[in-house]
Amino acid sequence: MAKSKFHTFMNHSANRTLLFCTAVTIAIVGVMPLANAWFEQSNRRLEADTVRSEVGELEVTVEQLQNMLADCRNETGGLEAQMIDAAQAEKFRDQIVELVRTSDCRLRNLTLGERSHRRCMQDDNPLSDGDFNRFDDEEYMTPYELESQPLELVVSGSFESIQALLSKTQALQRLFSTQSLEIHTDQSHSEITLQWELTLFSLVDSPDDEQE
């Protein structure tokens, strides 16, 4: 009886859209806190490196400095592992292909677009194009660039299969955001076609700072 009520509920396209939007919102919400945390930990690491270079002026032992650096790098390393840089983008795409297969969905199209990058600013929003009014103000600049890369996925399958794919993709715990999501059903409502556009994110050291 419970299953019957569930399928009756899902026969309404509005209810399907509500559940899908709820699942995908998790991916969007997760990007900002993770990116901001990465900024914070990276800045702490830079501060620790600066302290180490000025050790002669501070009453800090070498062992204390080494412990400070190790703690910062460990915390930052956990967030760095969630980023999807140029070298990892194709691997991430292959992971999505495997998730489509294990979720009993049919892959119709999967396109990995060109990478783009821009300078990161303090309190930056990875989902925006950046605050160009602040790009010439060194006070707001960070020593990093934000890299992004689009990935478009089109799959079809049952509601349960599509839901499983969304859940498994979110479970990867990588830095990506949903740009758009479209759902289409056939006349019998037995099959769903999902068109999902993602943006993959990564932070890299700015070439300008490396030259300095």
pLDDT band at 20 (very low <50, low <70, confident <90, very high): very low
**CA distance linking residue 74 with residue 69, whole number of Å:** 9
Q: What pLDDT is recorded for position 120? A: 76
Tokens, residue 47: 């501060």
Mean pLDDT of 68-90: 73
Q: Give the three-state DSSP class for 196.
A: strand
Q: Which carries the bigger pLDDT value, residue 118 or residue 20?
A: 118
Residue 58 identity (one-letter amino acid): L
Per-residue pLDDT of 172-194, as tens digits, reads 988 888 888 898 887 777 788 99
For residue 107, pLDDT over 80 is answered with yes
Domain region containing 86: 2-211
Domains in the chain, number: 1
For residue 71, pLDDT over 70 is answered with no
CATH assignment at residue 152: 3.30.70.60
Q: Which carries the bigger pLDDT value, residue 29 or residue 180?
A: 180
Q: Give the three-state DSSP class for 40.
A: helix
Helix (H) or strand (E) holding 139: none
Q: Running DSSP on this structure, what letter comes out for residue 194?
A: E
CA angle (168 as vertex; 166, 172 as ends), nearest 5: 115
For residue 15, pLDDT over 50 is answered with no
Facing residues of 203 across strands?
Answer: 146
Per-residue pLDDT of 34-68, as tens digits, reads 555 555 555 555 555 554 454 444 444 555 555 66
Q: What pLDDT is recorded for position 1? A: 47
pLDDT band at 169 (very low <50, low <70, confident <90, very high): very high
Tokens, residue 26: 């998790």
**Phi and psi based region of residue 10 (left: phi greater than 0; alpha: psi -120 to 50; beta: remaining):** alpha
For residue 93, pLDDT over 80 is answered with yes
Q: Which carries the bigger pLDDT value, residue 8 or residue 128?
A: 128
Residue 205 identity (one-letter amino acid): D
Per-residue pLDDT of 189-208, as tens digits, reads 778 899 999 999 888 887 76
Q: What pLDDT is recorded for position 81? A: 79
Q: What pLDDT is recorded for position 83? A: 86
Average pLDDT of the chain, as a whole number: 71
